[in-house]
């Protein structure tokens, strides 16, 4: 008698999105990052890509989903994609407007078959407007809503990596919209399209800055305001070893601790809230910060509420005692990467798997989903 075949080990299914099925159409930037977040939170994500497409196995944004190869320009490939979508709760795509429609996979066609589907669309300019078909990148999507103009030195706007447009104003708003629409769908049975445009998300992120401007607390150019490096108590400084510290002593009590620990006895520092004095005070504090190394300043401010921290490199960050204690970075598949966030007390998130390099058959996905199971 043959021994029973052992059952495959299940992927993590403990996250808060356990049982949610997502079909992701392969793309770049914010849409894959959004799919990663959903997977980390327990969703069963299947990524559709074309045959022969290269997959970077070291790219952590591709972690935690299964891979299916389909020729979406063929009738057969489109039919197989529709079969997967019919069994899904969420669809995510990041093509330019009109691409999915030309493939026969647009919202009108899909929602007619699957009325409860949440159809997430990630673009830079959105599904309408004069620029809807224009090319662009993060730097473009943050320039029009006013974010880029507010970030940088006095002489030059500087792109803040692609954190503000692609991921802050893009992926995070897409995930928020998808989850809200999913709640609405489960309550009503009616799905809908989530139009997540990076330009919209960035405009939304600018809301607090618009509030500061409305109350007269944000005016003038870059590096001249409270939160853009203009204030001497909210900026970075070069230390004696060429490395940097970040100073964020906004509140008076924290500013007092900064002065105490750094020895800022000069009465000129009494004018904390006078913007006219900020340039001179920045120069004075810069000269003081240049007298010690970054780690010396770190040790001096350790344990205080002066809001002074070292500016760590991406190599240093995982080793910091606080981040190490919280496990903010984890090793998975022999590679160091960020841990899932946020954290849940009852249904913890977890990296489900390394990026899938080899595709699986569509029928394998359908068999699992039709039976109410996760794909193994």
The residues that are catalytic are 137, 166
CA distance 318 to 331: 10
Task: Give Dmax (Cα) for the chain.
Answer: 90
What are the two backbone dihedrals, phi and then psi, of residue 147, each rounded to the nearest 5 degrees?
Answer: -70, -45
Beta 335-338 vs 21-25: how paired, if at all?
Answer: unpaired
Read off the tokens for 105: 């996979």
Q: How far apart are the first and last CA of the chain?
A: 26
What are the two backbone dihedrals, phi and then psi, of residue 7, each rounded to the nearest 5 degrees?
Answer: -75, 145
CA distance 244 to 247: 10
Beta 234-238 vs 192-197: how paired, if at all?
Answer: unpaired
CA distance 294 to 245: 6
Q: Which long-range contacts (CB under 8 A, 24 or more apart) does 177-181 make?
A: 177/120, 178/34, 178/38, 178/90, 178/92, 178/118, 178/120, 181/118, 181/120
CA distance 345 to 80: 38
CA distance 255 to 287: 18
Read off the tokens for 332: 């998975």
CA 327 to chain centroid, in Å, comes to: 18
């Amino acid at each position: 008698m043959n021994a029973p075949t052992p059952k495959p080990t299940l992927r993590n299914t403990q996250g808060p999105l356990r049982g949610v099925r997502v079909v992701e159409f392969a793309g770049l930037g914010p849409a894959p990052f959004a799919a990663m977040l959903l997977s980390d939170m327990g969703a069963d994500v299947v990524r559709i890509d074309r045959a022969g497409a290269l997959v970077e196995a070291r790219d952590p944004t591709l972690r935690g989903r299964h891979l299916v190869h389909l020729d979406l320009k063929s009738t057969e490939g489109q039919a197989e994609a529709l079969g997967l979508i019919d069994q899904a709760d969420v669809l995510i795509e990041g093509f330019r407007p009109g691409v999915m429609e030309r493939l026969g996979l647009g919202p009108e066609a899909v929602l007619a078959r699957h009325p409860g589907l949440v159809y997430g669309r990630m673009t830079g300019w959105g599904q309408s407007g004069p620029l809807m078909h224009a090319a662009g990148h993060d730097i473009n999507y943050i320039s029009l809503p006013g974010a880029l103009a507010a970030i940088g030195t006095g002489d030059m706007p500087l792109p803040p990596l692609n954190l503000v447009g692609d991921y802050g104003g893009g992926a995070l708003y897409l995930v928020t919209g998808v989850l809200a629409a999913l709640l609405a769908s489960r309550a009503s049975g009616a799905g809908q399209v989530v139009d997540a445009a990076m330009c919209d998300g960035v405009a939304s992120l600018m809301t607090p800055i618009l509030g500061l401007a409305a109350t007269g607390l944000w005016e003038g150019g870059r590096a001249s305001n409270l939160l853009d490096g203009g204030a001497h108590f909210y900026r970075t400084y070069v230390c004696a070893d060429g490395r940097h510290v970040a100073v964020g002593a906004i509140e008076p009590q924290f500013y007092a601790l900064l002065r105490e620990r750094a020895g800022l006895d000069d009465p000129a520092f009494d004018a904390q809230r006078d913007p006219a004095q900020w340039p001179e005070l920045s120069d004075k504090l810069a000269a003081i910060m240049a007298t010690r190394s970054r780690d010396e300043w770190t040790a001096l401010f350790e344990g205080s509420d002066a809001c002074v921290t070292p500016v760590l490199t991406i190599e240093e960050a995982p080793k910091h005692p606080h981040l190490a204690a919280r496990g903010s970075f984890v090793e998975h598949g022999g590679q160091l990467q960020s841990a899932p966030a946020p954290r849940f007390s009852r249904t913890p998130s977890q990296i489900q798997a390394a990026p899938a390099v080899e595709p699986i058959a569509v029928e394998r996905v359908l068999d699992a989903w039709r039976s109410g199971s996760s794909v193994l």
